[in-house]
């Protein structure tokens, strides 16, 4: 068992990490960090647990540590659900101190030597860990993309063999993506908010790195133009998106590609049976009915039409955040980087 | 005063007609039709009134008529909120009988001699009434488009001077668009349904006719490729949509065009101060906050970005249905077709 | 293993039965019935599966049977999710034919010889099965109460030692209680409906039988006055209710009684760890956070205040319907009636 | 015209004040106060306007004043939407400075010399203004109750002639009652929160003062026992409540009393046609359909049943807050206190 911790364990994503790690077969959850005023108290007495599953017994009595390198170095690997403004330096310092960091924060995603990985899409980008090691870092920082970017790139993975140069994507994103207190009920009830700060920029930029190729210790960005329009809708969990790709092939060829998709990973505990699941019904995927497929790790696609148009959907705080980081960590272990 | 009636007056769109016509300065509401089992009863005793405004006093005591040509011919003009399967023949028969029909039903929209009109977009298409007259019809049938198509074509009206050949549009549509009982709460609550039957087809086809040119008694379809992806979201009223047009001009030029838009109509009672209103705030338009602008007749646009991308939104049962038909009728009167 | 079936397997409660029975340790699900037009088809091809968990593999390929005594008699036990209008006679006929019937339908609940059972409250009422047997019935009909009545009587079970003569209860009930299509989105969104047909009557009448005592082969109704006010609120699953009992004891004594509650059943597979769970936090129980406690079988209580007032909440389609019937069946098996 | 101001004009209740005062026939809105950092800026450039009606033109260009006695004394009358922690002293100081204060804040409601008034219930309590004057105060402070208390006491006004000693009330309150940012979407969506801080205490205490009698310059509390259970539900505007009164008379007598109610006020601009409206339909009142009755000033009641039970509902930010203060001010003017 590898001893692991969660940085920022009391927030929306932090709670998902705790939920998913409580019974993990490879990782032993022993460290939980939060703000200084919670340090020293039992996690169960401090956290305002908001998930439908019960607070795991294992986590209840863990004493919260402050979010400092000194306390973090006691474990082998940490999952970061820190706010971006403090994640940047701290994650790098942890790596310097020999700790592996799998981060959901955006701060370090675009650093050249930091892999931005979706296991089913670009597992080879973990090769950048060697670049970090060459610079004398004993640990590492590996990041996963923004939640919407994950759903989109997952849905693109089976389409590698088709040629296209542009992607247009309109998202309908869940309120949990903004954290427990990020969206006021008066703001989103009976409403759509056609703007999510920095979300379009992240989708347009991160996608190029993820879809890019690792050559000579550097990622060469993919040559595709991504144009995103991001919207918040009154849904609790599950980001839905409508996509257009300038693929000329018949939609049936695309359906076949989705059905035939064989991801380049295997044997990872958090990996779902189907990484990408193609729905045949006209009115699917739907967030409430399909977000928990594959314990929240499957990305659903459907409505493949000429255009080429389709709809993709996945659970934003599992597949799009905590589960993404954990799957990255499992890939790292399986590839012997830890 | 012109005596008018509403066909199918008890449904969602029918009630909006009654609400909007109760105090109309030109039209005197005297006829309300519904199914045979309601005929002969007072409207107020039969209708399950579901609008936030109170049932108008004027309508309360009108005795419901059956939906037959014989009763309809007593008025000069009727507004049709009939289901498409019965609207087709009945509307044509009414026109034959000398009654003007302004219809929100889809049945006759694509008939060559029937104008499909959005007053701010293609008022000259009313010229097709002359084609109907030439065929010996004393009344007329004039239709308005599907609700989503209206919002989209309204937002396109100020952009006529730009050159573009393709439109991609992802809609986030309100539940009222399906009628009072069209969507079950269990189906849409905490959910997105990525499919609305025949909606994409209507947007793709009707737009070509509306944007087309009337030449020699025929409408020549516009040459533009429309690709729609339609989704239902948990919003009561107000259809929001994200659009892409392959316009190369700077977004600021497009903003200027929206601000400068001067619609080709004036002096109509139901016409709003701004037919198309450009929002400057990043997070607008929003259905709950902006749908009632211009008493529900203004289409809001915002988030003009390179791409060219923008967001449009309007009230689907007012601007997108009952109000659209009434504005058509006002245009018809002002152009002396009645 | 006891071979079992579900009558009315495609509806909201029917699907919950299928979900909960798919991996049951005692019951082998082999029969699913639905309307005649579905008979002969595979369950997976007919059902519009609406639960967040996936359709169980086991059920997918079962061929649907018609809802007739002839097909039902092939199994030992059936769970009835039939509409009340057909449940009444059919359930009795099944019992005559030797089949055990655990019914969620209301039709037979108030028949003198039919037990109306909540296992934690009145397990001894199963003694009425002997009355049925004495009348020559080889099977049996056992019913569970209406969903709201179950939550209320469960919360009353720990309070037996207190004296009270009146109960006032205001419910805030979930939309799933009306079935998948029972409530239109336009009717309940941003709304409260202060009326649910026959619900108040059921709570007021069924409670008396459940809380009554079985003496000499008859249930003597409890002497308590129940006054209910039932409301529908925009919640998917989970009925919340505020109760007043004229108990004079200190609220702390009542809290102790809730904490000390030891239900009169044990060892049943569907029985939760805590049948009634007392929340200490001021703002609990909440349906979204607490409905899945005990896999949906725990009734949560909280806010015990002088008055005596408290709040109770439970999952209406699990604890309040399908799970209730299954727990009844387990009790029946454990007491050797099958 | 009486020059008036709004204290705390940018919040949820402040915006309602601005909306309702913009076209008032007696009051001329000239002063808007907000926090110091907004002072000196135009209201239209500072306020995040969240009402469905457009920001009134009249208010748009008013320069925001700081919330100090010096700026407030320039007007005759102010409406206070201040947070309670600053309302207490400031309102008293304004009254000392000769300004009339009609406050929606809770801080001064229970002071012996401050009237707590619902015009249709206890208009004579304005007599306490004389007590204030006797103490040398040139202005006055008059308060309206908490929103839920207003709906309840309004519904009790027609029932004065019946004898009862206890009230039990379960509320289902709208999210706007907590202000624009008071409830997170993740907290209330698909949920009920069975707790609102200090709400039950306010309903239980304020009611006694309002229903009490003014004798010799003092209010003698009513002798009635109020027991409240308060819950938040996913509704935007409109507080619904179920009540029990130990009235023994036949429900039909109570219905008659509701129908016959003649409020002790008349001729006030904000007063609705029906102060209390009795619905006959089983499933009414409903917040979405009935909250705007009487431009938001009517309290709807329905479902009068033996028990005695009934349901009451009203618009919490109009009848329950801003509209309540304005109606108080109109009453004060009509009674020559200003």
* Cα angle A193, A197, A201; round to 5: 120
Domain boundaries, chain D: 2-145+321-334, 147-315
Distance of CA D212 to the CA centre of its chain: 18
Closest chain B residue to C180 measured between Cα atoms? B186
What tokens were used for B334? 């002002």
A179, A184, A288, best to mutate vs chain D, most D CBs in 10 Å? A184
The stretch B183-191 carries a mean pLDDT of: 97
- D315 counts as catalytic: no
Query: Tokens 């009270």 correspond to what residue?
Result: C164
Q: CA end-to-end span of chain A, whole Å? A: 12
Of A6, A7, A11, the C-alpha closest to A182 is: A11
Contacting chains of D (3 CB pairs or more, <8 Å) are A, B, C
Confidence of residue D310 (pLDDT cuts 50, 70, 90): very high
CB neighbour list of residue D147: distance below 8 Å, 6 or more residues apart: D173, D177, D239, D316, D317, D320, D321
Active-site choice (A147, A230, A279, A315): A147
- Rounded (to 5) percent helix, strand, coil in chain C: 35, 25, 40
Closest chain B residue to A288 measured between Cα atoms? B191
Compute the distance between CA of residue C250 and CA of residue D40 in angstroms, rounded to an integer: 56
CB-based contact (8 Å) between B155 and chain A?
A: no
Compute the distance between CA of residue D21 and CA of residue B7 in angstroms, rounded to an integer: 40
B336: left (phi over 0), alpha (psi -120 to 50) or beta: left
CB-based contact (8 Å) between D176 and chain A?
A: yes
pLDDT at position A243 over 90: yes
Closest chain B residue to C176 measured between Cα atoms? B186
Which A positions 226-255 lie with beta carbon below 8 A of chain D? Answer: 234, 236
The stretch A293-311 carries a mean pLDDT of: 97
Compute the distance between CA of residue B117 and CA of residue B132 in angstroms, rounded to an integer: 15
Instruction: List, for residues A184-204, the tens digit of each pLDDT value.
Output: 999 999 999 999 999 999 999
Kind of pairing between the strands at B140-143 and D218-220: unpaired
Confidence of residue B230 (pLDDT cuts 50, 70, 90): very high
What tokens were used for B155? 């937002």
Active-site choice (A102, A125, A230, A239): A239
Contacting chains of B (3 CB pairs or more, <8 Å) are A, C, D
CB-based contact (8 Å) between A180 and chain D?
A: yes
* Contact assignment for D172 to C231 by CB distance below 8 Å: yes
Strand order in the sheet with B27-34: B65-66, B27-34, B2-7, B77-80, B100-103, B140-143
Q: Which CATH class is domain B147-315?
A: alpha beta
The stretch C179-189 carries a mean pLDDT of: 96
Which A positions 1-30 lie with beta carbon below 8 A of chain D? Answer: 12
The stretch D296-307 carries a mean pLDDT of: 97
Closest CB from A184, A190, A234 relative to D184: A184
Per-residue pLDDT at B20: 97
Distances (CA, A) of B271 to A326, C242, D34: 56, 50, 37
Distance of CA B125 to the CA centre of its chain: 15
pLDDT at position A107 over 90: yes
The stretch B55-69 carries a mean pLDDT of: 96
What tokens were used for D246? 């130990």
User: Does the reported pTM lie above 0.90?
Assistant: yes
Kind of pairing between the strands at D218-220 and D213-215: antiparallel
Q: Which CATH number is correct for D2-145+321-334, 3.40.50.720, 3.30.70.20, 3.75.10.20, 3.30.420.40? A: 3.40.50.720
* Contact assignment for B184 to C186 by CB distance below 8 Å: no
Per-residue pLDDT at A220: 98
* Contact assignment for C53 to A189 by CB distance below 8 Å: no
What tokens were used for D203? 């309903």
Q: What is the DSSP letter of D52?
A: S
* Contact assignment for B289 to D50 by CB distance below 8 Å: yes
The fraction of chain B above a pLDDT of 70, given in percent, is 100
Q: Which residues of B touch C51 (CB under 8 A)?
A: none
Distances (CA, A) of D244 to A96, A210, B98, B199: 67, 63, 60, 49
Active-site choice (D94, D102, D147, D230): D147
C-beta separation of A268 from A330 below 8 A: yes
Q: Which residues of D touch C302 (CB under 8 A)?
A: 194
Of C249, C255, C227, C229, the C-alpha closest to C167 is: C227
Confidence of residue C140 (pLDDT cuts 50, 70, 90): very high
What tokens were used for A124? 């080879």
* Contact assignment for A50 to C289 by CB distance below 8 Å: yes
**Where in the sequence numbering do the catalytic residues of B fall?**
147, 239
What tokens were used for B193? 């349904």
Q: CA end-to-end span of chain B, whole Å? A: 12
Instruction: List, for residues A10-65, the tens digit of each pLDDT value.
Output: 999 999 999 999 999 999 999 999 999 999 999 999 999 999 888 999 999 999 99
C92: left (phi over 0), alpha (psi -120 to 50) or beta: alpha
Per-residue pLDDT at A52: 86
pLDDT at position D266 over 90: yes
Distance from CA of C312 to the nearest CA of D (A): 10
pLDDT at position A222 over 90: yes
Of D169, D194, D102, the C-alpha closest to D139 is: D102
* Contact assignment for B234 to A233 by CB distance below 8 Å: yes
- Rounded (to 5) percent helix, strand, coil in chain D: 35, 25, 40
* Contact assignment for C181 to B184 by CB distance below 8 Å: yes
Q: Which residues of C touch A50 (CB under 8 A)?
A: 289
Query: Tokens 């990041």 correspond to what residue?
Result: A143
Per-residue pLDDT at D52: 87
Instruction: List, for residues D141-195, the tens digit of each pLDDT value.
Output: 999 999 999 999 999 999 999 999 999 999 999 999 999 999 999 999 999 999 9
3-class SS of residue C332 = helix
Per-residue pLDDT at B52: 86
Kind of pairing between the strands at B225-232 and B166-173: parallel
What tokens were used for C299? 């009734």
The stretch A253-269 carries a mean pLDDT of: 97
Per-residue pLDDT at C52: 87
pLDDT at position D20 over 90: yes
Of B245, B106, B69, the C-alpha closest to B162 is: B245
* Contact assignment for C186 to B12 by CB distance below 8 Å: yes
Mean pLDDT of chain B: 97
In chain C, count H helices and then E strands: 12, 14
Per-residue pLDDT at A188: 98
Q: Which residues of B touch D289 (CB under 8 A)?
A: 50, 52
CB-based contact (8 Å) between D176 and chain C?
A: no
Sign of CA dihedral B75, B77, B83, B87: positive
C-beta separation of A33 from A101 below 8 A: no
* Contact assignment for D50 to B190 by CB distance below 8 Å: no
Of D333, D277, D288, the C-alpha closest to D310 is: D277
Distance from CA of B201 to the nearest CA of A (A): 12
What single string gives the DSSP state of each residue in C273-294?
A: S-SEEE--STT---HHHHTTGG
Per-residue pLDDT at A166: 97
Neighbours of A232 (CB within 10 A): 27
C-beta separation of B131 from B97 below 8 A: no
Query: Tokens 């009684």 correspond to what residue?
Result: C257
Compute the distance between CA of residue B195 and CA of residue B232 in angstroms, rounded to an integer: 7
* Contact assignment for C195 to D283 by CB distance below 8 Å: yes
Sign of CA dihedral A282, A288, A294, A300: positive
CB-based contact (8 Å) between D48 and chain A?
A: no
The stretch C116-139 carries a mean pLDDT of: 97
Q: Which residues of A touch D192 (CB under 8 A)?
A: none
Query: Tokens 């993404």 correspond to what residue?
Result: A324
Compute the distance between CA of residue B101 and CA of residue B143 in angstroms, rounded to an integer: 8
C-beta separation of B302 from B284 below 8 A: yes
What tokens were used for C250? 């200190």
Neighbours of A274 (CB within 10 A): 17
* Contact assignment for C236 to D287 by CB distance below 8 Å: no
* Contact assignment for B282 to A195 by CB distance below 8 Å: yes
pLDDT at position B162 over 90: yes
Please state the three-class secondary structure of chain A as a single string: CEEEEEECCCCHHHHHHHHHHCCCCCEEEEEEEECHHHCCCEHHHHCCCCCCCCCCHHHHCCECEECCHHHHCCCCEEEECCCHHHHHHHHHHHHHCCCEEEECCCCCCCCCCCCECCCCCCHHHHHHHHHHHHCCCCCEEEECCCHHHHHHHHHHHHHCCCCCCEEEEEEEECHHHHCCCCCEHHHHCCCCECCCCCHHHHHHHHHHHHCCEEECCEEECCCCEEEEEEEECCCCCCEEEEEEECCCCCHHHHHHHHHHCCCCCCCCCCCCCCCEEECCCCCCCCHHHHCCHHHHCCEEEEEEECCCEEEEEECCCHHHHHHHHHHHHHHHHHCCCC
C-beta separation of A277 from A212 below 8 A: no
Compute the distance between CA of residue A310 and CA of residue C193 in angstroms, rounded to an integer: 38
Compute the distance between CA of residue B224 and CA of residue B244 in angstroms, rounded to an integer: 13
């Amino acid at each position: 068992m590898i001893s692991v911790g969660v940085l920022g364990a009391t927030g929306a994503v932090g709670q998902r990490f705790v939920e998913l790690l409580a019974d993990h077969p490879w990782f032993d959850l022993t460290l939980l960090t939060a703000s200084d005023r919670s340090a020293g108290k039992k996690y169960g007495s401090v956290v305002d647990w908001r998930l439908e599953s019960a607070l795991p017994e294992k986590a209840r009595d863990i004493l919260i540590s402050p979010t400092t390198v000194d306390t973090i170095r006691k474990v082998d690997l940490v999952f970061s659900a820190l706010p971006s403004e403090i994640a940047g330096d701290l994650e790098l310092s942890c790596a310097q101190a020999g700790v592996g960091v799998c981060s959901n924060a955006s701060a370090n995603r675009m650093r050249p030597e930091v892999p931005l990985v979706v296991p089913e899409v670009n597992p080879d980008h973990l090769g950048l860990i060697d670049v970090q090691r060459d610079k004398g870092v004993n640990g590492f920082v590996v990041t996963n993309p923004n939640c919407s970017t994950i759903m989109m790139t997952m849905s693109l993975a089976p389409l590698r063999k088709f040629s296209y140069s542009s992607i247009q994507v309109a998202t309908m994103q869940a309120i949990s993506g903004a954290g427990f207190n990020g969206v006021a009920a008066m703001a989103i009830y009976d409403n759509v908010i056609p703007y999510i700060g920095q979300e379009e920029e992240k989708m347009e930029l991160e996608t190029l790195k993820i879809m890019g190729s690792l050559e000579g210790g550097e990622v060469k960005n993919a040559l595709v133009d991504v144009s995103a329009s991001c919207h918040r809708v009154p849904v609790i969990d599950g980001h839905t998106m409508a996509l257009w790709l300038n693929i000329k092939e018949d939609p049936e060829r695309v359906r076949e590609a989705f059905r035939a998709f064989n991801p380049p990973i295997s044997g990872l505990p958090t990996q779902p049976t189907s990484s990408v699941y193609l729905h045949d019904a006209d009115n699917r995927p739907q967030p409430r009915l399909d977000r928990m497929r594959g314990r929240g790790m499957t990305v659903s696609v459907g409505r493949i039409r000429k255009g080429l148009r389709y709809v993709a959907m996945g659970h934003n705080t599992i597949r799009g955040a905590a589960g993404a980081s954990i799957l990255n960590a499992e890939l790292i272990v399986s590839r012997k980087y830890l």
